[in-house]
Amino acid sequence: MKSQTYSSLHDVFLLKLQSLYDIESEIIKALPKMIKRATYPELKSGFEDHLEVTKMQKERLEDVFDELGEKSKKVSVDAIRGLIKDVSWLLQQKMTPEARDASLIAAAQYIEHYEIAGYGTALAWAEEMGHDTIADMLQETLDEERQADETLTVLAEHAMNEKALQPMIND
Ligand SMILES: [Fe+2]
């Protein structure tokens, strides 16, 4: 197979979009397992909401590819598979529901921060190249990822205040 030489900001931008497209797809596959295993109702519904948002983010990337006159394409990203593998590992451990919820929140925040970094770069590059419409679309997703991260932080604080988690704090 002929290997491509990436030679312009456009080329690396496209590669970044293809990575993000893969990342969103993998998260869509992983979230149902996290929803199933979360116990705290607000966490469960938070993951459910984020699954719907993530599906929209994937579609938004398809619109970005359209804007560029490119086909929606994925490149397989090892890092997101590693982060999701860590979630699977956590879910295999013997944990109380409270400990599992706290671990799921922490794992989800790793993924959010990873996405925030990726979209931050993509947005900066879109702005650099003067792709204003695309920049607006990427900004929208970036805002959603930041919102999801903040929601997780609030949930972590709430969960820690729940009586059920007190034994964990005191242990
Ligand atoms: Fe996302």
How confident is the model at residue 19, as a pLDDT? 98
Ligand 1 center to 27 CA (angstroms): 7
How confident is the model at residue 67, as a pLDDT? 97
How confident is the model at residue 152, as a pLDDT? 95
How confident is the model at residue 3, as a pLDDT? 81
How confident is the model at residue 163, as a pLDDT? 55
The residue assigned the tokens 């397992």 is 33
Rounded mean pLDDT for each run of 10 residues along the chain, 171 residues in total: 84 98 98 96 95 98 98 98 97 94 95 98 98 98 97 87 60 53
How confident is the model at residue 158, as a pLDDT? 82
Ligand 1 center to 66 CA (angstroms): 19
How confident is the model at residue 44, as a pLDDT? 95
Ligand 1 center to 26 CA (angstroms): 10
Per the structure block, which two tokens stand in for 142?
């970036």
How confident is the model at residue 157, as a pLDDT? 87
Please state, in angstroms and as integers, the Cα–Cα distance from residue 62 to each residue in 47, 53, 75, 136, following that order. 23, 14, 14, 14
How confident is the model at residue 164, as a pLDDT? 53
Per the structure block, which two tokens stand in for 36?
């199933």
Ligand 1 center to 171 CA (angstroms): 35
Query: Which amino acid, 40?
Result: Y
Ligand 1 center to 159 CA (angstroms): 23
Query: Which amino acid, 65?
Result: F
Ligand 1 center to 54 CA (angstroms): 5
